[in-house]
Amino acid sequence: MMDGMHDVWLPAGPQAATLFQLWIAMLVVCVLVFVGVMAALAIALRRAPRATAATPPDLAVLTRGEPRLHRLIGGAVALSGVLLIGLLVASFLTDRAIAQLPLVDAVRIDLIAHQWWWEARYEPGDPARVFATANELHVPVGRPVLLTLRADDVIHSFWVPNLHGKKDLIPGRESTFAFRADRKGVYRGQCTEFCGYQHAHMGLFVIADEPGDYARWEAAQRLPARAPRSDEERRGFELTTGSTCGMCHTIVGTSAQGQRAPDLTHLAARSTLAAGTVPNTAVTLKAWVANPQAIKPGVNMPAHAFADGDLAAISAYLGSLQ
């Protein structure tokens, strides 16, 4: 199965890098303060006792102050204030920096979170160029990406740690989210707001391609589904379009036009099924169509009582949708 990076320590974009710097600054300051406090505590504990049980209480402090101690504590409080304000300023500057990503020539994608998968619609503003895919976002290296985030049912949260921080997707509320990938690679994302039974199986992949590769992928995605070639694929095509599949799934260029489940037009070009739950192979595809509940209990797709030969044909057809 595709195994993407999922690591804040390896930022692959300008925003993740800025966030990482802030994270390092906070870590360093907090470690230094922690070490300082622990050192002060150790010194206090190890100091030789100045009194025994028999010593009368020292009430000198009532008449005479302790200027040295006052200076020390005052200094420590002032230092804490300065450090906290420093971190506040650093956090403010980081927020500013990540909000100022230039969006010239941005790739526009509508990202809609569903229980429990991600729907992506590329170039939603242009009906002639729009196409849909699911759970795998291809983006060109070096070009900004502007996501419009929406949720279909409950609150979800989008997080690809190598590229940016988190942002919630809230039903009824549209928000935008910009990022840029500067290094080629596969970055794993995950829903990070508990969204129901299969929240843990709601992954996605951001695949940063060289601009040429991205243009080829984009052009291929915009084509309608490949026509079936062999007899088995043709049988699979008839079963797929003639049964329940098309009520929820779209396969562009066929009668399957449902809008409720992942677009299957180029299913075989994706490397996983069910939002990163299982690898996309002929065996898992067959098992998934036969009984999705066995793989991802609670998922909205029902089981199907196809005969074994029919399942193989459906799997062959879907597996041919490059």
Q: How far apart (Å, rounded) are the C-alpha atoms in residues 59 and 199?
A: 63
Q: Which is nearer to another protein, 183 or 304 (CB)?
A: 304
Return residues touching another protein (CB under 8 A): 153, 171-172, 242-244, 246-248, 258, 260, 291, 293, 297-298, 302-306
Burial class (CB in 10 A: 0-12, 13-18, 19+), 194: exposed
233: phi then psi, degrees, rounded to nearest 5: -65, -40
Q: Running DSSP on this structure, what letter comes out for residue 269?
A: G
Minimal distance, residue 190 CB to another protein, in Å: 23
Q: How far apart (Å, rounded) are the C-alpha atoms in residues 202 and 113?
A: 9
Minimal distance, residue 292 CB to another protein, in Å: 10
Q: Which is nearer to another protein, 22 or 248 (CB)?
A: 248
Q: Which is nearer to another protein, 85 or 247 (CB)?
A: 247
Q: How far apart (Å, rounded) are the C-alpha atoms in residues 59 and 215?
A: 82
Q: Which is nearer to another protein, 21 or 241 (CB)?
A: 241
Q: Which is nearer to another protein, 248 or 268 (CB)?
A: 248
Minimal distance, residue 75 CB to another protein, in Å: 57
Q: Which is nearer to another protein, 224 or 298 (CB)?
A: 298
Q: Which is nearer to another protein, 36 or 242 (CB)?
A: 242
Q: How far apart (Å, rounded) are the C-alpha atoms in residues 13 and 147?
A: 15
How far apart, in Å, are the Cα atoms of 59 and each of 36, 64, 72?
30, 9, 21
- Identify the helix (H) or strand (E) that includes residue 114: strand 107-114
Contact between residue 248 and residue 261 where contact means Cβ atoms under 8 Å apart = yes
- Among candidates 307, 318, 299, which has minimal Cα distance to 240? 318
- Alpha helices, DSSP H, located in 136-210: none
Minimal distance, residue 107 CB to another protein, in Å: 29
Contacts of 142 (CB under 8 A, 6+ apart): 180, 181, 182, 211
Q: Which is nearer to another protein, 102 or 302 (CB)?
A: 302
Q: SS3 of 140, please?
A: strand
Q: SS3 of 134, please?
A: strand
Q: SS3 of 250, please?
A: strand
Q: Which is nearer to another protein, 220 or 294 (CB)?
A: 294
Q: Running DSSP on this structure, what letter comes out for residue 152?
A: S
Minimal distance, residue 267 CB to another protein, in Å: 19
Let me know the angle formed at the C-alpha of 172 by 170 and 173, rounded to the nearest 5 degrees. 60
Minimal distance, residue 6 CB to another protein, in Å: 29
